[in-house]
A and B are shown apart, each in its own frame.
Chain A
């Protein structure tokens, strides 16, 4: 008879972080799907409210968790919206990877930056990445870039607002966890 296998129990702190990450992933996926179902200002424009959760994870859990959450919510969202492996999914996933990388870079390397600045840069990077992917992979016309400046202006506004919301929520969570 084989001796019983001893599986070490993970520390409670790690389990709490994992549970928190999973809860936030469900919330982010829900917001992603909700955002896809509401009318937007245009085919290229989204409010980016699901990104608030990525910012909260970046501050509360860490860089790796934030990147994993951003990618996972796009995949789960596409599964429920029905756009898995379509051009919309390719654009959304690549833009999310670029935006999250820019946000992580800004958070780590830019001194005195707050979540507002991080969110602002993320929103701008997301919009630019969308256009580059569409122009490179699907519609090879430079004329597309004429649409970019007004949409970048809107991204500045939504990026700032999302960052402010993420900062408020993070501060509230910090106060209540004390």
Chain B
């Protein structure tokens, strides 16, 4: 019974992983959210380093975007797990500061959507 359960779980997870991976393409853009609100969108590898201060529920989360990717450099949360996450630079990668309700998500954006953002 245990092996059957493991097999079912592994197959289901692998299939859902594959299905989700199909959505991970396009031009990598960094989306910064506070809860439901989209605060900013930046390209993953900007020509110049970007410093962004995201205002969350308990304070300011300081974010830096450079050639290495995106990372959280300061956060008002107690565990600082978001800072310890380090740099993120692949589509689908995320940094979340749950106490401050800040999410940094690298998403693949189609060119047509990109034009709409820049407008």
Q: Which residues of A contact B (CB under 8 A)?
A: 42-43, 82-83, 86-88, 91, 110-114, 116-117, 120-121, 124, 134, 138-141, 143-150, 152-153, 156, 160, 163
Contact = CB atoms under 8 A, between A and B. Distances in A.
B116 interface: no
B29 to A, nearest CB: 12
Given A112-B1, A113-B2, A138 B78 contact: no
A167 B61 CA distance: 44
Interface of B is mostly: mixed
Interface stretch (B8-16, B46-54, B63-71): B8-16
Contacts of B111: none
Contact of A156 (B13, B20, B31): B13
Contact of B96 (A113, A139, A160): A139
B99 A43 contact: no
Contacts of A82: 78
B19 to A, nearest CB: 9
B24 interface: yes
Contact of B33 (A83, A116, A141): A141
B99 A87 contact: yes
28 contacts: A42-B85, A43-B84, A83-B79, A86-B78, A88-B79, A88-B99, A111-B1, A112-B1, A113-B5, A117-B1, A120-B2, A120-B6, A139-B35, A139-B102, A140-B35, A141-B33, A144-B94, A145-B20, A146-B20, A146-B24, A147-B94, A148-B16, A149-B13, A149-B16, A149-B17, A149-B20, A150-B17, A156-B6
A-B CB proximity, top 3 nearest = A149-B17, A43-B81, A117-B2
B44 interface: no
